Amino acid sequence: MKNSVYLLLIMSALSFGQSKSKAANVIVNGEASQENLEVYDFDEIEKFLNLDDQKVHVVNFWATWCAPCVKELPYFEALQEKYKDQNVEVLLISLDFPNQYESKLKPFIQKKNIKSKVIALNDTDMNTWLPKVNKDWSGAIPATIIYKNGNRHFYEQSFTYEELENQVQTFLK
C-alpha cells in the first residue's frame, strides 16, 4: 500500500504539464544484456498484455526504486531460464521515471545481467491505464499478470520463486 501511494503521487507529479510519450528506442552504451530499451505509452504496451499465441506470458510491473520488486526479479529470471523451452515468456515492465532511464534503469539492467525482455512504461495517466491492466489494481507494485490465451490471473503481491513457479505450472497443465 505504501508503494502504491508513492507511485500515485510521483506519477501524478510527473504528469503535470506533460504529454504522453510515444515509443522510442534508447541505446545502452557498453555491454548490457539488453542493448535496446523500448519505451512505450500504455496504448502501445497493451498489446503485450493480450497476446494469443499458445505461450504462457508472465508480465511483471516493477521499478528499480521498489525494494520488493528488486528482491523478486531473480525469481523471474530463474523462471525464464528454466521454462524457456516450454513456451513461457517473461516480460518486465519498468515503471521507472523517464529522467532515470540513463542513470538508474539501464545501469541496473546491465549490473544485474537481466536476460528477460525489459520495456519501460512512460505514461503518467495512471487513472486511465491501471483499470485496463486490472479493474481492482490499486497501483501498488510489484504486480504481475500471468496469462495464456483466455486464462488470466492478476497478482498484486511479491512472490517467492516457489510461489511464482507454482502459478506458472497451473498454466502449463
Q: What is the CATH number of the domain that holds 95?
A: 3.40.30.10
The rounded distance, in Å, linking the Cα atoms of 148 and 57 is 6
Q: Which of 32-46, 88-102, 104-118, 128-142 has the lowest mean pLDDT?
A: 32-46
Domain count, the chain: 1
In this predicted model, what pLDDT tens digit does every residue of 36-61 receive, in sequence order? 799 999 999 999 999 999 999 999 99
pTM for this one? 0.82
| Cis geometry, peptide bond prior to residue 142 (ω within 30 degrees of 0) | yes
| pLDDT score recorded for residue 173 | 86
Query: Domain residues for 22?
Result: 2-172
